[in-house]
Amino acid sequence: MAEHPYKLEIVKLNQTNLSDINSMDNAFEVKSRIIPRIEGDSFNYTTEEVPGFYTKWYPNDEFDYSTYIESPDRAAYLAYVNDKAIGQIILRRWWNKFVWVEDIRVKSEYRRAGIGTELIDAAVKWAKTSEMRGVMIETQDTNVPACLFYQKYGFKLGGADKMAYGGSKHSQETALFWYLVF
């Protein structure tokens, strides 16, 4: 567990904190993108600048998150600082015996302070307790800070899908799939 200059607590989703889901922003800055390539039997990548810096965010999913409470197939954890929700990770057991990270976010002013690592640690613990093979996550090639974070944690780039976001001239993003295998 990392040292923080504030009191950090990771709490599993329950009826008391259910209203805190999606209460923090998920915006990120797009300055560059990942260009994946296959080398032998693995992926590697380079990065390139994106002309015109911009900020991107996604609308919150409208799920009944109460179904994640005490479920053997789903889980969610919230990060709190001084009783204020500042991060979350939402998980589900996937068909391939990996835990799928449906969403991970940390409030912008707390990023790069180890909160994401603590949330991934919770996912890893839940995956191991659930006898899964590892953890997987998908993100966009334009979310370079997230990609670098996953790689630093130990995830490996395992796939890319140019059609996932529509594959049209209006959606040039590539979905990148990252895997942490136990």
Beta-sheet pairing, 156-161 with 134-140? unpaired
Inter-residue contact 65 to 88 (CB < 8 Å): no
pLDDT at 2: 56
pLDDT at 62: 83
Residue 78 lies in a domain: yes
Residue 2 lies in a domain: no
Residue 23 lies in a domain: yes
The boundaries of the domain holding residue 147 are 8-181
Q: How confident is the model at residue 113 (pLDDT cuts 50, 70, 90)?
A: very high
Inter-residue contact 45 to 37 (CB < 8 Å): yes
Across the range 59-80, mean pLDDT stands at 94
Q: How confident is the model at residue 35 (pLDDT cuts 50, 70, 90)?
A: very high
Residue 118 lies in a domain: yes
Inter-residue contact 42 to 49 (CB < 8 Å): no
Residue 3 lies in a domain: no
The number of distinct structural domains making up the chain is: 1
pLDDT tens digit string along 9-18? 999 999 999 9
Residue 66 lies in a domain: yes
Across the range 166-180, mean pLDDT stands at 82
Residue 1 lies in a domain: no
Across the range 102-106, mean pLDDT stands at 96
Q: How confident is the model at residue 166 (pLDDT cuts 50, 70, 90)?
A: confident
